Structure 1
Amino acid sequence: MTRPTPEQLAAARDRAIPEVIAPDLDVVFCGINPSLYSGATGHHFARPGNRFWPALHRSGFTPRQLRADEQHLLLDFGLGITNLVNRATARADELSADELRAGAARVTALARQYRPRVIAMVGITAYRTAFGNRHARVGPQPERIADAHVWVLPNPSGLNAHYQIDDLAAEFRALRESLGR
């Protein structure tokens, strides 16, 4: 995957990227929103240093570490990806609370349409704002989105210093094991 130029990154602002989704998946991972890097490449969690793909593999969801440009292969493993807000920004804190709440409605509609077993929210602060659950913690949640169970995972961005890769993989593994896989 070729690294985007500074001009391509600037042009990616507010760009949407396609979801990786199909009916009846085990898990749909829901990021906060695409980075400019993801907007420029069209691939989820594409920025070098993002730990989503290593955590996904180390947790046992995939037999090898996929690259962001192989995101379509997730469907073969019963997995998908979407975002709360499908608008690329340099940082997630550029999103308003209203955008995150509108994203919650969009994700709920996707859950109704595609019927995944679990929606795994990747980013606790955005989840708390979007779904109005100020006390949510990492792990399974008591509420559902449509009929899907809800699981909150830490944000895998390299900017999240609270979780190292082994800690992230352990949280992803707990989700995988909850599925009986």
Structure 2
Amino acid sequence: MEARETDASRAPVLPDVLQPGLDVVFCGTGAGRRSAQARAYYAGPGNRFWWALAEVGLTPRLFSPQEFPELPNFGIGLTDIAKAHIGQDHELDPAGCDARGLAERIAAVAPRALAFTSKRAAALYFGCPTRALAYGLQTPTIETTRIQVLPSPSGAARGHWSLDPWRDLAERLGR
């Protein structure tokens, strides 16, 4: 019988942008189709991620998705909980998520904050339903790293969009 390839057994779609000394690491669920095609984080045409970073002062200007490798210069890192997933959040098989691996990667670089860019990503990490989570700062930590849940910047999640939790994060980071 031939072994079935799973999300967890495939190579990462997008490289982690992680290093010690970061202020915040943003964590999504996995790469959307447009991001996978562009080989860049948050590359969907309706995605507000890059706009939100500039709007709340986490970056000095609006960056393009292809400029994602420059983010550590501004204290920002990037990762996903399902590194090999391509597609929309609702298509994600939870078996392709690696919450323990995420915690290990975050503990190794010890950013001040881990910010999930959707309730879905946070719920996959915490192992709970999305309705059990509120936006904002969470009680659990990863060693010294504080965890925050943000509204998804995806165009598909516009009904839940608010910049306020993004502003709160920027304020906590002193920006």
For 1:125, the aligned partner's letter is: R
Q: Secondary structure of the residue that 2:156 maps to in structure 1?
A: coil
In structure 1, the partner of 2:64 is 67
For 1:136 and 1:163, the matched residues in 2 are separated by: 13
Q: Could you list the runs of 5+ residues in structure 1 that have no partner in the other structure?
A: 1-12
Tell me by how many angstroms 1:177 deviates: 0.2
Q: RMSD between aligned alpha carbons?
A: 1.8
Deviates more, 1:40-49 or 1:87-96: 87-96
1:143 aligns with 2:140: yes
> TM-score, length-normalised on structure 2?
0.86
For 2:87 and 2:80, the matched residues in 1 are separated by: 15
In structure 1, the partner of 2:17 is 20
Residue pairs, 1:89-100, within 5 angstroms: 89-100=86-97
In structure 1, the partner of 2:5 is none
Q: Among residues 120, 125, 128, which one is paired with 1:125 in the alignment?
A: 120
> TM-score, length-normalised on structure 1?
0.84
For 1:175, the aligned partner's letter is: L
In structure 2, the partner of 1:159 is 156
In structure 1, the partner of 2:110 is 115
For 1:155, the aligned partner's letter is: S
Q: Per-residue CA shift, 1:127-169, capped at 9, x if unaligned?
A: 12331244221000000123310000011100012244xx22x
For 2:28 and 2:77, the matched residues in 1 are separated by: 11
Tell me by how many angstroms 1:15 deviates: 5.8
Residue correspondences, number: 164
Tell me by how many angstroms 1:98 deviates: 2.9
Q: Among residues 99, 102, 105, which one is paired with 1:104 in the alignment?
A: 99
For 2:12 and 2:22, the matched residues in 1 are separated by: 26
Paired-residue identity, %: 34
- Alpha carbons of structure 1 residues 153 and 15: separation in structure 2 relative to 1, 3 Å: same
Q: Secondary structure of the residue that 1:54 maps to in structure 2?
A: helix
For 2:111 and 2:125, the matched residues in 1 are separated by: 19
Q: Per-residue CA shift, 1:98-145, capped at 9, x if unaligned?
A: 333xx2111101111111110001111231233124422100000012
8 A Cα contact 2:85 2:96, kept in partner: no
